[in-house]
């Protein structure tokens, strides 16, 4: 059994066995499944020249509960939606070439290294209350950048998100790019497909409803049903044990600022940096697609403006 090892995305042998049991993944035919999907991939004209990784394919098998056909559709969606979103994928080539590049100047974002019941807890906190310094494009780009690392190194059943909105305001919402949000939502739900088990909104206030009004049209109803609101940091500890929370939330894990520094160093390490740049080639060539085709306007639908009423 190939046990992945990465300090940011820990998974013990027992964790892996439980995850595989839960989704019905069998070690005896895993490599056969991966080989079959890669064989399909390289025979598709619009995918054949793109980059793909075996660990990524295994993660796609987990998200689709080992259905080869569902896995193929998920991978196809992943590459197609990235093709239509070059502005949130390709800039990393230039950004990562700068050793002093700071991807998180106005917020913190991390995944807790230790799995919680087979799920990966991710934490996002806005640290700068000034809306003028907020750029939703940067949040989206960084989430996909870290997502590419996770699709390579992580191993889990799905996600639990904790989002601290203490410093958020309507001014921040007004600086969101609606079309980019739509592209990200499509890619995350139809292409990446990590199962969302829980979303915890911390330091919730009347502002929370405005935020929900923006994201509700973009997110599947079953995901919205999993959103919980917490008025204080202390309340989140009733749902997530302290050993899985950063210091900022009264937990035992490193602080979000400490995680930020670790991540900044990690993405500049040659192994991670080279892989993240390779992932820029995880895009389809839609001009070579055979059969049913979709243009960007069709994929984006009619989502043209933000509604914060």
pLDDT tens-digit readout, 40-83: 999 999 999 999 999 999 999 999 999 999 999 999 999 999 99
Query: Quick count: other Cβ atoms within 10 Å of Cβ 78?
Result: 23
What pTM does this model have? 0.93
C-alpha 19: how far from chain center = 19
Q: What is the DSSP track for 73-137?
A: HHHHHHHHHHHT-GGGTTTHHHHTT-TT--S-SSEEEEE-SS-BTTEEEEEEEE----GGG--HH
The DSSP-derived string for 11-71 is --HHHHHHHHHHHT--HHHHHHHHHHHHHHHHHSTTTTTS---HHHHHHHHHHTTT-HHHH
Per-residue pLDDT at 162 exceeds 60 = yes
User: What mean pLDDT do residues 118-122 have?
Assistant: 98
Domain ranges of the chain: 1-288
User: Which residues touch 210 (CB under 8 Å, ≥6 apart)?
Assistant: 170, 173, 308
Q: Which of 152-166, 218-232, 246-260, 285-299 has the lowest mean pLDDT?
A: 285-299
- pLDDT on residue 297: 60
3-class secondary structure per residue, 163-216: EECCCCCHHHHHCCCHHHHHHHHHHHHHHHCCEEEEEEEECCCCHHHHHHHHHC
Q: From 3.30.70.580, 3.40.525.10, 3.60.20.30, 3.90.1150.10, which CATH number describes the 1-288 domain?
A: 3.40.525.10
Handedness of CA 27, 32, 38, 40 (dihedral sign): negative
Task: Indicate the pLDDT class of residue 207, thresholds 50, 70 and 90.
Answer: confident
Mean pLDDT lowest among 36-40, 148-152, 210-214, 272-276:
210-214
- Tokens at 14, concatenated: 């027992």
């Amino acid at each position: 059994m190939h046990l992945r090892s990465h300090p940011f995305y820990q998974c013990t042998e027992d964790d892996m066995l439980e995850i595989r049991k839960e989704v019905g993944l069998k070690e005896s035919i895993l490599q056969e499944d991966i080989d079959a999907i890669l064989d399909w991939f390289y025979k598709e004209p619009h995918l054949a020249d793109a980059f793909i990784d075996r660990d990524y394919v295994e993660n796609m098998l987990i998200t689709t509960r080992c259905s080869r056909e569902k896995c193929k559709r998920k991978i196809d969606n992943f590459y197609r939606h990235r093709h239509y979103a070059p502005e949130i994928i390709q800039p990393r080539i230039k950004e990562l070439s700068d050793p002093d590049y700071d991807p998180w100047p106005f917020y913190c974002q991390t995944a807790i290294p230790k799995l919680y019941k087979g799920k990966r807890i991710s934490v996002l906190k806005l640290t700068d209350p000034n809306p003028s310094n907020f750029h939703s494009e940067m949040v989206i780009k960084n989430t996909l950048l870290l997502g590419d690392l996770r699709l390579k190194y992580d191993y889990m059943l799905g996600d639990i998100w904790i989002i601290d909105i203490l410093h958020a305001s309507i001014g921040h919402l007004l600086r969101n790019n609606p079309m980019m949000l739509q592209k990200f939502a499509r890619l995350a739900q139809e292409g990446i497909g990590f199962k969302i088990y829980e979303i915890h909104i911390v330091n919730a206030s009347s502002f929370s409803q405005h935020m929900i009004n923006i994201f509700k049209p973009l997110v599947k109803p079953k995901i919205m049903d999993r959103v919980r609101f917490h008025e204080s940091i202390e309340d989140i500890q009733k749902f997530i044990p302290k050993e899985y929370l950063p210091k900022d939330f009264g937990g035992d894990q490193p602080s979000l600022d400490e995680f930020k520094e670790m991540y900044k160093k990690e993405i500049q390490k040659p192994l991670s940096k080279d892989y993240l740049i390779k992932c820029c080639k995880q895009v389809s060539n839609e001009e070579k697609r055979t059969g049913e085709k979709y243009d960007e306007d069709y994929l984006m639908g009619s989502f043209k403006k933000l509604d914060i009423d």
